Structure 1
Amino acid sequence: MDGRKHRWFILGASVIPLIAVLGAMALLWNKVFSWSDVVVLVIMYAISGFGISTGYHRMLTHRSFETYKPIRVALATAGVMAGQGPPLIWAAHHRKHHRVADKEGDPHSPHLDFEPGFKGTMAGLWHAHLGWLFNINLTSDPMRYCPDLVREKPLRWLSENLLLVVAASVVLPGLIAFGITGGSVQAGLTGMLWGGLVRIFLINHMTYAVNSIGHVFGRRRFETTDESRNVAWLSIPSFGEAWHNNHHAFPRSARHGMKWYEIDLSAILIWSLEKTHLAWKVVRIDPERMTMREANISRVSGSSLDKKELLESQQKLAPMAERGRDSDTSLVDVE
């Protein structure tokens, strides 16, 4: 799929689901809605959400873990079903983003070439959220940014047959609703609406919000060279992607929620695959390395500690620095 076809696809994947949402609201107002619509919406949202977060992002783009080929293909297919574009182009864009995050060349930074103030902030948010996908100069060559993925025949097939897979993901919830309601045609049709098109609208804008909101609003635990933020309220619907500052600090980490209270659904899925011996080479971050980096941020950005406390903190961290090792090679290899 070339750049022109990709833009047309994104336009269709943005406008058609939006129209479907308006239609669904009208039907809901007129009480044309049933329990089966909720079921297929939740099922398909979970499938496509894990497909993007676990499949496209952590497995393909950052190589955070390895798994068997059938699972790899299944996760990539689930990612295609989200309607965010071919896996090769998605991974290429994202690897490019990490290499120059919030700097010249970043495909979707909200901070480049926008005037200061409210108007510029809104323009930047729109660009990072969705506008960047319509940029006629947008290019991230898969052969340059993800040649390892281009060599995989199933990923090439999914990229070339994107429309077929996305269409199947709209029909599938209709078939599920038809089956669980005992053959209700109406349930089948509304299932396609809610589990198909409305679901694509919701999952896409959750993902886009990580690019936009996640680089403007939220908390920064780690001092990174970009403007990434952790957005707690977005963490569950984004399957853990909204712990975005954590991710930019340690891109290859299979877990984005670094604290016990930072819920990361994709990390739970990867952990489950590992425990059942269906995943291996799961990239983890040395807790000492994480502690050291977080403490360094306090010193760089103006810690509230007094000199005595700061000296004690440095003395405690010194042994870690001597024996600690950076288990996350992504600091020099963003892939």
Structure 2
Amino acid sequence: MPRLATAIHLGRGRRLAHDHAVTEQSVRPQPRRKVVSSPYIHRLQRRHFLLFDVLPIIGTVAAPALLAGHPFGVTELVLLLSMWLLTGLGVTVGYHRLFTHRTFKAAPAVVAVLAVLGSMAGQGGVISWVALHRRHHEYSDREGDPHSPNLSGGGLAGRFKGLLHSHFLWMRRHEYPNIVHYAPDLLKNRLLVRVARLYYWWVVLGLAIPALIGGLAEMSWLGAVSGLFWGGLVRIFVLEHIVWAINSFLHMFGTRPYESRENSRNGGLFALITLGESWHNNHHAFPDSPSFGLDWYRLDPGFWLIKALAAAGLAWDLKTPGRDRIEAKRITKPAA
């Protein structure tokens, strides 16, 4: 009997120790998940892909059909260029340099305008975009990078498959970065949270504005439809493929003057049309710099806007790297 009682007591002790360990484990903070994946999220991704990635392609293909009844004129050209410039600056200056990398600080009015303009580009809500891009920098060209072109095998077939994935196809379905992990600073910003919640409305506004201006300029419904196509759908298509080309082609082709952990490249020839984003190796080498060109003679319209805002007192604390730091990372030395 004493031996049996001892065995029961030990058994109870082990169970109590196990229960205590389980309780401790449940109470102890668990590591935060970096990505979230669920059927619901994947359905949202497919819907966004069809609405804002595929539909602009269809609109761009259909736009020339309008030329038979409504020629492409000054109104359409101005709407296309102005809406591309405004929403493009919203992405590069707002989404990328300000919200993702915090390369400068800005007045609340500037924050709000840049967040809205970036949302009008149709490339995702500001907080989700920031979380995705921060994850890209964390795992760039390694497993975990949502859109690397260099993880699909070698040879011509692997490179082509990688380019397709990184340029376009990755958006159909991917692991969603946990915004609590990647963008806690933005979640504390009530202004940005409010803008992010209205993301779909901002995209619609970005389509409605050129349609309204086109209709008023031509005083016709056909003018409104033409404005919708050229200032809306075609503009989204053009800007999207410019941004996507940086993720795809500029991680495979171009010059590489600075040390960085990944395969980022510069494409200086495209500096103006990308609003400075094509200085991609520069950016990955110095992600905290508001200047992507780094030197005054390298075209960087995004940095020009930041400098103008700073001159007006609307932006400050620009974290441009010094010459010593830049030269320390240089691979190719400049010619004498």
Shorter chain as normaliser: what TM range? 0.7 to 0.9
The alpha carbon displacement at 1:68 in A equals 0.8
- Please point out which of 140, 144, 148 is paired with 2:181: 144
Would you say the 8 A contact 1:214–1:244 is kept in 2? Answer: yes
Partner of 2:288: 252
Q: Point out where structure 2 has 5 or more consecutive residues left out of the alignment.
A: 1-39
Q: Distance in 2 between matches of 1:159 and 1:180?
A: 32
- Answer yes or no: is 1:96 the counterpart of 2:135: yes
Q: Distance in 2 between matches of 1:148 and 1:248?
A: 21
SS at match of 2:161: helix
Partner of 2:261: 225
- Please point out which of 216, 238, 259 is paired with 2:274: 238
Partner of 1:212: 248
Partner of 1:199: 235
- Please point out which of 191, 202, 208 is paired with 1:171: 208
- Answer yes or no: is 1:37 the counterpart of 2:73: no
Report runs of 4+ in structure 1 exceeding 6 Å deviation: none
Q: Which amino acid aligns with 1:255?
A: S
The alpha carbon displacement at 1:178 in A equals 2.8
Q: Which amino acid aligns with 1:164?
A: W
Q: Distance in 2 between matches of 1:157 and 1:38?
A: 33
- Answer yes or no: is 1:132 the counterpart of 2:181: no
- Please point out which of 195, 200, 203 is paired with 1:158: 195
Structure 2 matches for 1:102-121, cutoff 5 A? Answer: 102-112=141-151, 114-121=152-159
SS at match of 2:329: helix
- Answer yes or no: is 1:10 the counterpart of 2:49: yes
Would you say the 8 A contact 1:235–1:241 is kept in 2? Answer: yes
SS at match of 1:120: helix
- Please point out which of 41, 44, 58 is paired with 1:19: 58
Relative to structure 1, is the Cα distance of residues 109 and 8 closer, same or farther in structure 2, using a 3 angstrom cutoff? same
Q: Distance in 2 between matches of 1:20 and 1:6?
A: 20
Q: Distance in 2 between matches of 1:70 and 1:77?
A: 11
Q: Distance in 1 between matches of 2:50 and 2:273?
A: 23
Q: Which amino acid aligns with 1:163?
A: Y
Would you say the 8 A contact 1:6–1:85 is kept in 2? Answer: no
The alpha carbon displacement at 1:125 in A equals 0.7
Q: Which amino acid aligns with 2:202?
A: V
Q: Distance in 2 between matches of 1:290 and 1:139?
A: 34
Q: Which amino acid aligns with 2:233?
A: L
With structure 1 as the length reference, what TM-score do the two structures score? 0.84
SS at match of 1:155: helix
Q: Distance in 2 between matches of 1:304 and 1:196?
A: 42
**Deviation sequence 1:7-34 (CA, Å, 0-9, x none):** 3112211111111111112223666322
What is the percent sequence identity of the aligned residues?
Answer: 37
The alpha carbon displacement at 1:304 in A equals 12
Relative to structure 1, is the Cα distance of residues 115 and 68 closer, same or farther in structure 2, using a 3 angstrom cutoff? same
RMSD over aligned Cα atoms: 2.0
With structure 2 as the length reference, what TM-score do the two structures score? 0.84
Q: Distance in 1 between matches of 2:191 and 2:68?
A: 43
Q: Point out where structure 1 has 5 or more consecutive residues left out of the alignment.
A: 306-312, 314-335
Partner of 1:309: none
Partner of 2:112: 73
| 187-196 vs 256-265, which moves further | 256-265
Q: Distance in 2 between matches of 1:124 and 1:29?
A: 39
Would you say the 8 A contact 1:10–1:85 is kept in 2? Answer: no
The alpha carbon displacement at 1:216 in A equals 0.4
Q: Which amino acid aligns with 2:201?
A: L
- Please point out which of 47, 50, 62 is paired with 2:86: 47
